[in-house]
Structure 1
Amino acid sequence: MGAKIENIAYYLPEGKLDSAGLKEIFPDFDVEKIENKIGIKSRHISGTNETSLDLAYKAALKVIKNSEKNEIDFIILCTQTPEYILPSGACILQDRLGIPVTAGALDFSLGCSGYIYGLAMCKGFLETKIASKILFLTADTYSKYIYDQDKGNRSIFGDGATASIITYDEIDKLGKFKLRSDGSGFDKLIIKNGGTKNKLNAKAEIKIYGDDNQYTDNCIYMNGPEIFNFTINNIPKLIDDTLEINELKKEEVDYFVFHQANKFMLSYLRRKIGIPQDKFHLNLENTGNTVSSTIPIALNQALKEGSIKKGDKVLLAGFGVGLSWGATIIEI
């Protein structure tokens, strides 16, 4: 008894912020240097009244046929930018999509490792017969939480959503998982205000970090060097552990899809782990870092490009806010 990814689609909002747009906002923005380092030329930005739930809904429409709606018996939404504090966005999507009330629904809050954790949950639900066909969604609109004068984060993050259909399959195509967390680094990527601990502050102090980037505690703060060090120190071992638990050698993996954080970090990881360039996905030029959506977007890209094909074994790895990280092997 097992599980498989049956279908993947993604939706990107119509609004865009390209390098020329960043140059207008930040006259000292070194377009060539930034594009070469982070590998991003353009990122999609949600509209003023466009929410993560709106993006998730549009992504879902791409994978659900009307005839299949009655077959979906669980909806899982991964987001850190919910439309409401409560209720669950997945419950709202059940009604909006016309999926039967017999389907379960839940949200979970996780960032760049969210797709891996979500796949693990899907596999658990399928193997225990809680569900037989799951609509798994990722959606985030980080742009709404980035301070206008935060050059660093505005150049990295983009908005987007994905929808995956995960189903029961007699041949297990979702391998074994390695999931990790280290809450001691919770403050390395954080929005301090807006929860129950610290209310939003209309007069929040403007702070400076990094290369003259500005932010307030109402907005996203990311300690880039610390996140980089966390990734470099933990992901190589994660890959080794994931290969071991799935009884595979690195050479037996056909393709590697990591969270598309930025070009510099991914290139460093690839070289450190020793992955051939032609077996490693690197494509965030026109999407930016879409948080929990980067891995399914990358899978969709790789399938369309022919980088992966039916029967291939693909190692997926996500890492970031939490701090959290995880990996698994899937078969296409």
Structure 2
Amino acid sequence: MKYNSSIKSIAIGLPETYYTNNMPPFSTIPNLPKNWWRNWGMEGRYMIDKKKGESCSQLAMKASLGAIEKAGLSTQDIDMIIGTTCTITGWSDKDNDKIFPGISEHLKTELKCKHSVMTLEVNQACISFLVALQIASDYIKTGIYKNVLICSAETFTQIADFSLPSASLFGDGAAAVIIGRSKEDGKLVSSHYKSIPTHNEIATLQWRIPLYKTGKEFVRPYFSLGEDAPSQMQTFVPHNVPEVVFKALAKAEASIVDIDHFIFHQPSRMLIRMWAMGIGIKRDKYTTTVEEYSCLSSASIPMTLYIALKNKKIKPNNKIVLAGAGIGWGFGAQVWHTETINY
């Protein structure tokens, strides 16, 4: 028997402290290019404080518990957990160097889920949440699982090199959703993905020392953005997101006018505007969160979905599009028919 899948609930987890661009360590980043903030669009972000016990896993737990509660479920009702994080090292609140097992295994243990729960890690950078949604939906459609928890948690500030401008682009946060069997007409209507692995050098996570420091004691993973990355991105990122959106719409036999709202990944204000222009939609048809939260990598799309719901931009029986790009480079778009999403 086949089932439709729907997004049942969504919840978020944020650190306690908010940092504007005028506050250290962001105000002390050297050599910011002219118009840097205006082009990227970040005005502030949340950042964890390890002294307060904050961590990637702590944010993930907060979001996951919220999503389970809002779905009207208990932890014993969860059949599968999919975790996404780019904070490959340092996600744990107990061991800053923990890589394996992944955050999905951590959530299963801490949530005290049943032993039969399947866990899975997805790492397709900023579109990991979309990939996780596709996997969860496919499992539910085939009847293998009934309730899937997806948690995207990022503490990118912990892998940022604050001697480089790229450290200013990210914030910390988590978002979780429950995907379950549809009781109404909610479903993943269609999707389309593509990969262009020819620009890998533009943005990477690599082991090195900070640019202006020396000594082996500083060697750890740092996010690295190529000096010419912004202009390079503009040669292929702006048109590939509209392309996958149109292909997903074609599979759904839908057009732009049929879509009530668009949820994009939030890498920069400029790229989001380019995607909207390429698709042909006005500002009221999509939500932005990059200004307030900065880029949250894999947590960006679910965070923006949460804010759109909170602002009443998405209602039951709407058609919405989730779309974005991730370094690597992967592109994805999905068309969803919503039912009630508890938030």
In the superposition, the TM-score normalised over structure 2's length comes to 0.85
Q: CA deviation at 1:35?
A: 4.3
The answer to which of 69-78 and 57-66 deviates more is 57-66
1:139-190 deviation digits (Å, cap 9, x = unpaired): 1111111112112x22211111111000012535212111212222222211
Q: CA deviation at 1:34?
A: 4.3
Code of the residue aligned with 2:248 in structure 1: it is T
Whether contact under 8 Å (1:206, 1:216) holds in the other structure is no
Code of the residue aligned with 2:66 in structure 1: it is K
Residues in 1 aligned to 2:41 and 2:27: alpha-carbon distance in whole angstroms:
19
The answer to which of 283-292 and 62-71 deviates more is 62-71
Aligned to 2:176: 163
Q: CA distance change for structure 1 residues 100 and 45 in 2, over 3 Å: closer, same or farther?
A: same
Residues in 2 aligned to 1:75 and 1:236: alpha-carbon distance in whole angstroms:
30
Code of the residue aligned with 1:62 in structure 2: it is G
Q: CA distance change for structure 1 residues 24 and 257 in 2, over 3 Å: closer, same or farther?
A: closer
Q: CA deviation at 1:67?
A: 5.1
Aligned to 1:51: 55
What stretches of structure 1 move > 6 A for 4+ residues in a row? none
Whether contact under 8 Å (1:178, 1:242) holds in the other structure is yes
Q: CA deviation at 1:302?
A: 0.9
Q: CA deviation at 1:51?
A: 2.9
Q: CA distance change for structure 1 residues 24 and 260 in 2, over 3 Å: closer, same or farther?
A: closer
Q: CA distance change for structure 1 residues 181 and 328 in 2, over 3 Å: closer, same or farther?
A: same
Whether contact under 8 Å (2:129, 2:152) holds in the other structure is yes
Counterpart selection for 1:154 from 167, 170, 173? 167
Segments of 5+ residues of structure 1 without an aligned counterpart are 194-200, 208-214
RMSD: 2.3
Count of paired positions:
314
Residues in 2 aligned to 1:97 and 1:307: alpha-carbon distance in whole angstroms:
32
Code of the residue aligned with 1:120 in structure 2: it is Q
Code of the residue aligned with 1:75 in structure 2: it is I
Residues in 1 aligned to 2:137 and 2:202: alpha-carbon distance in whole angstroms:
30
The answer to which of 290-299 and 16-25 deviates more is 16-25
Aligned to 1:220: 223
**Equivalent residue of 1:162, what SS?**
strand
Whether contact under 8 Å (2:60, 2:151) holds in the other structure is yes
Whether contact under 8 Å (2:18, 2:44) holds in the other structure is yes
Q: CA distance change for structure 1 residues 303 and 116 in 2, over 3 Å: closer, same or farther?
A: same
In the superposition, the TM-score normalised over structure 1's length comes to 0.87
Code of the residue aligned with 2:125 in structure 1: it is G
